[in-house]
Amino acid sequence: RGGKPEPVIQFTQPGNMTRIYAIASGKGGVGKSTVTANLAAAMAQDGLKVGVLDADIFGFSIPGMLGVQGQPTRLDDMLLPPIAHEVKAVSIGMFVPEGQPVVWRGPMLHRAIEQFLADVFWGDLDVLLLDLPPGTGDIAISVAQLLPHAEILVVTTPQAAAAGVAERAGAIATQTSQSVVGVVENMAWLEQADGSRLEVFGSGGGATVAGRLSQVLGTDVPLLGQIPLDITAREAGDAGTPVVVSDPESPAASALRDVARRL
Ligand code: ADP
C-alpha cells in the first residue's frame, strides 16, 4: 500500500453491531443473487438499515436486480452508496463500462472487496449482506479474512448435484472458522393450477445440505426456508424490483420474507 495506513473496516471495529451474512452457493444459477436482493429488501421493509455488497465480481447482478441506478458518489475520501428499495448497494457493476468483462486475479479481487468495505460510507447498518460468487474461490477466502465474523448462508436447489456442491461452499466455514447460519432451498417446486406441487428440480436438496453441514460443523445448521419457483420472482428480478416489493403476497415473496425474519 506504499506507506498508506491500513484501511479501516467499520464492521470489524470494537462495538460494531452490524450482523453480516455472506450468501454462498456451490454453483451459479441457483438464485443466490435473487435471494440476496429479496432478503435485503424484506429486511428494509421491516425497518432495518440494510447494505448489500455485491462480491460476485465476475458475475455481478445486484445492480440489475435491485434496480440501482448510477454510481456511488464521492464525499471526501469516501464513496456514498446508491440506495434502492431502502437498501444501500455497492457493486463492481457500478464501476465497469457496460458489457466490459472484469479480468482480475486474486490480489485485485481482494483489494476490491477491501475497498468496498473500507472506502464506502455505509453508515450505521443493522445488517450487511454479501452476495458471494458461486463456489469456494479467492473471494470467499478474502471475505472470510476481512470479515471473520460474517456468517454464511447457503443457497441450493433441491437437486442432488446442486446440493453436493452447495455443501462444499458451506463446509469452507470449517477452514475459515466462520459459522453457517442456515440453508435456503430455492426453486423448491412450481405450484400447479390445481394446487399441486411440481418438483421440477427434485426434492430434498436443502434438507440434505443442512443435515450434512450440521454433521461436518458439529452444530445445528437449520433449513431456513424453501422458496418456490415463481414467474413473478423472475420477472421482478429482471425489472429491478425484488418480488417482496413488487408482489408481496406471492408465494415466493412470502417464503423469502419468512427467511429474512429468521435471520
Ligand atoms: P445466482 O445468483 O445463483 O447465479 P440468480 O439469482 O441470478 O442466481 O438466478 C438465476 C435466474 O433464476 C434468474 O433469472 C432469476 O430471476 C431466476 N430465479 C431465481 N430464483 C427464482 C425463483 N424462486 N423463481 C423463479 N425464478 C427464479
pLDDT in tens, the chain (263 residues): 566 678 899 999 999 999 999 999 999 999 999 999 999 999 999 999 999 999 998 889 999 999 998 889 998 889 999 999 999 999 998 888 777 777 777 788 899 999 999 999 999 999 999 999 998 788 999 999 999 999 999 999 999 888 889 888 888 888 888 999 999 999 999 999 999 999 999 999 999 999 999 999 999 999 999 999 999 999 999 999 999 999 999 999 999 999 999 99
Q: What is the ipTM of this complex?
A: 0.99
pLDDT score of 148: 94
Q: Is 2 annotated as a binding residue?
A: no
pLDDT score of 98: 78
Secondary structure E strands in the chain: 19-25, 50-54, 73-75, 78-80, 83-84, 87-91, 127-131, 151-156, 180-191, 197-198, 223-229
What is the grid cell recorded at 23? 450468501
pLDDT score of 104: 75
Ligand 1 centroid – CA 234 distance (Å): 6
**What atom of ligand 1 comes closest to residue 234's alpha carbon?**
16
Other Cβ atoms less than 10 A from the Cβ of 181: the count is: 19
Residue ranges lining ligand 1, Cβ < 6 Å? 25, 28-34, 61, 186-187, 227, 229-230, 233-234, 237, 252
Q: Is 30 annotated as a binding residue?
A: yes
57-94: b or e for each residue (b if 16 or more CB lie within 10 Å)? beebbbbbbbbbeeebeeeeeebbbbebbebbbbbbbb
Q: Look up the pTM and report it.
A: 0.95
Ligand 1 centroid – CA 189 distance (Å): 13
Cβ–Cβ under 8 Å, residues 42 and 30: no
Q: Which residue CA neighbors atom 20 of ligand 1 most closely? A: 31
Architecture field, domain 10-262? 3-Layer(aba) Sandwich (3.40)
Cβ–Cβ under 8 Å, residues 78 and 8: no
pLDDT score of 177: 87
Contacts of residue 225, defined as CB under 8 A and 6 or more positions apart, other chains included, come to: 184, 185, 255, 256, 258, 259, 262
Please give the full DSSP string across 205-246, using - where no structure is assigned.
HHHHHHHHHHHHHTS---EEEEEEE-HHHHHHHHHTS-HHHH
